[in-house]
Structure 1
Amino acid sequence: MSLDTSACATQTGTTDPMPAAVLWDLDGTIVDTEPVWLAAEFSLARRYGGEWTEEDGLELIGSDLLDAARTIRERMGIQPTPEEIVTAMVGEVADHLRHADLVWRPGAIEMIDRLAAAGVPQALVTMSYTEIAEALITRMASNPFGAVVTGDRVTQGKPHPEPYLTAARALGVDPARCVAIEDSGTGTRSAVAAGCQVLVVPNLVPVEAGERRTLVDSLAGLGPADLGALVAGPGLPR
C-alpha cells in the first residue's frame, strides 16, 4: 500500500494526530552510507584475496553486523574472524561519517527537525555500532534522539524485533503507536515484528509490501502529521 503524498502532506497543528515516537534506521535511511559499506567489503576482499560481488553486498543490507561478517568470511574464504571483519568495516564507515561529505537521504533531516519541533520523541535504531552512530550524531546540528540502539548493544539484531522493542522501551512508549522508518526488508521485518507501523523508503534494495508497512519513494514533502496518520487508524489518508 502506498501513501498518497500529494493528498496527505500537511502542516503540523495542535489537532493533528502524532505517533508516540518515530524510530529511525540509519544506513540508507538518514544518510546514504550503503555504498560506503559496499566499498569496505570490497576493500576486505582485495586485502585478503577474497571474491566478492555487489550482489553479495546487497544481500547483507540491514543485517546484524556479526551475522554479515560470518557470511563475508565464508563467501570470501578469508581468515580474519567475524569480530575482526566487523572492526575493520566499522572503522572505515565511522571515518567516512566523521570526515567525508555526507549524502543525506531526501527529506530525512527535514523530517527529523519537524518531529523535534512538534515534540515527537525520536530514537535511532541501527545495526551499525556505537562508533558509527556517534559519528553521525556529531554531524547533525543537535542530537534529536532520546534513545540510541546500536548493533553492539543488543543480543539479537535485525530482523529480530529486539532492537525496536528496546528503543520503544527506552522512550517509554507502546511500539504499536510508533512509526519506524526503514529502507531494507531486514529492518522492516524487525520493526513489524516489534509491532510498529513502518514507513518504508527503499534505497538500494526493493522491499515487499505487507502488513503494517507503507512504501513511499521519498520522505521529501512529508511531515509529522503524515506519520501520525499511519498510527491513527483505521486506514491511511487518501
Structure 2
Amino acid sequence: MPDAARPWAPPAAVLFDMDGTLVDTEHLWWQAAAELATELDLALTERDVPDVLGRAVEHTAAHLHRSSGTARTEADLAAHLGDTFAGKVADEIVPRPGALALLTALRAARVPTALVSASPRRVVDLVLAGLGSDWFTVTLAAEDTEHTKPAPDPYLAAAALLGLDPAACVAVEDTPTGVASAHAAGCAVLAVPSTVPIAAAPGITLLDSLEQADLALLGRLTASRAV
C-alpha cells in the first residue's frame, strides 16, 4: 500500500505486448509482409503500415489480398505469412532495451505479468522459448480470443485470467493498434513506440524506451486513475 515514504503502490499487474515491445520483431513482421507483397507484384509503403504493423496475420493477409487482387486465397496468404514470420523469429529473438530489467523488477516485487500478443500461438511460443516463459503469469496469443487487437478482448481476457480489474493494470504497448486495444479495455497504458509514432492522449503515457520505466512510474499510472 502507499505510505508517506512511498506514495505509490505497484500496479496490480503489468500486461505486455510482445512484438516490438518486449522483443525486436516488428521489423521481421514487416519483412515477411513485404516479401509476400513482392510475390504479389506489390510494394509496401507507409500507406500500408496501419494494416501491417500491430495487426494479426489474418488482417494483413486480407489487406494484401484486397490490394493485389490475387487469385490466391486469404487463407493461403495467411499461412505463407505465418510460416515466413515464424522462421524469421526462430532465427532472431532480441529483447528490447530495458525489457528484461523491467521484468526482473516486477518479479522481485511479485507483480503478476501477462504476455498479450496478436501473433499466432506458435510465434508466441517461439519467443517464450528464447525469452523464458517463466517471466509471465499468463500468456495470450491471437487464437485465444474471438477478436484480437485493436479490439479490447485480449486485454480484458488477460485481466480476467488474473482475476483483476483492467483499470488496476498497466498495459505496455508499442503501436497505435495495441494502444487502442489496451485503452478500450480500461487499462492504464504505457506506450513505447517502436516503428510507428503514437499520438499523445489522455490515459496514454509515452516513453522513448523501456529503460525509462520502473516500478514507481508503473505504480503512479494506476494510482492516478484511483484518485
| Inter-partner Cα distance in structure 1 for 2:10 and 2:59 | 35
Question: Which residue does the alignment assign to 1:165?
Answer: 156
Change (3 A) 1:234 1:46: closer
Which residue of 164, 167, 174 corresponds with 2:165? 174
Partner of 2:27: 35
Please say if 1:46 is aligned against 2:38: yes
1:234–1:177 CA distance, 2 compared to 1 (3 A): closer
Scaled by the length of structure 1, what TM-score is found? Answer: 0.86
Q: Is the aligned partner of 1:150 residue 2:179?
A: no
Residue by residue over 1:95-129, the C-alpha shift from the partner in whole angstroms, topping out at 9 and shown as x without a partner, is 222233x3321111211121112111111111101
- Give the Cα–Cα distance (whole angstroms) in 2 for the partners of residues 177 and 55 of structure 1: 35
> 1:167 deviation in Å?
0.5
Kindly, what percent of the aligned residue pairs are identical?
37
Q: State the aligned residue count.
A: 222
Q: For the residues of structure 2 that align with 1:199 and 1:183, how far apart are their CA atoms?
A: 9
Q: Distance in 1 between matches of 2:60 and 2:159?
A: 25
| Structure 1 residue 70, shift from structure 2 partner | 0.8
> How far apart are 1:227 and its partner, in Å?
0.6
**Counterpart Cα distance in 2 of 1:56 and 1:211:** 26
In the alignment, the residues of structure 2 paired with residue 170 and residue 28 of structure 1 have an alpha-carbon distance, to the nearest angstrom, of 24
Change (3 A) 1:64 1:45: closer
Q: Select between 124-133 and 112-121 the one with higher mean Cα deviation.
A: 112-121
- Specify the alignment match of 2:14 in structure 1: 22
* Matched residue, 2:221: 230
- After TM superposition, list the pairs within 5 Å mapping 1:1-238 onto structure 2: 16-47=8-39, 49-60=40-51, 61-100=53-92, 102-233=93-224
Pair 57,135 (structure 1): closer, same or farther in 2 beyond 3 Å: farther
Deviations 1:186-234 (A, max 9, x none): 1101101100000000111011111211011111142222111100116
> Which SS does the other structure have where 1:148 is aligned?
strand
Preserved CA contact (<8 Å) 2:61 2:81: no
1:2-46 deviation per Cα after TM superposition (whole angstroms, max 9, x unaligned): xxxxxxxxxxx9885111111111111111111111111122123
Does the CA-based 8 Å contact 1:41-1:57 persist in structure 2? Answer: no
Give the secondary-structure state (helix, strand or coil) at the position aligned to 2:211: coil
Q: Do the aligned residues in 1 keep the contact of 2:150 with 2:178 (CA within 8 Å)?
A: yes
State the alpha-carbon separation in 2 of the partners of residues 109 and 57 from structure 1.
Answer: 31
Greater relative contact order: 1 or 2 (C-alpha under 8 angstroms, separation 6 or more)?
1
Q: Is the 8 A contact 2:28 2:89 kept in 1?
A: no
3-state SS, counterpart of residue 214 of structure 1: strand
Deviating more after overlay: 114-123 vs 103-112 = 103-112
Q: Which residue of 2 aligns with 1:3?
A: none
Q: Specify every segment of 5 or more residues in structure 2 that has no aligned partner in the other structure, as ranges.
A: none
Between the aligned partners of 1:80 and 1:145, the Cα distance in structure 2 is 38
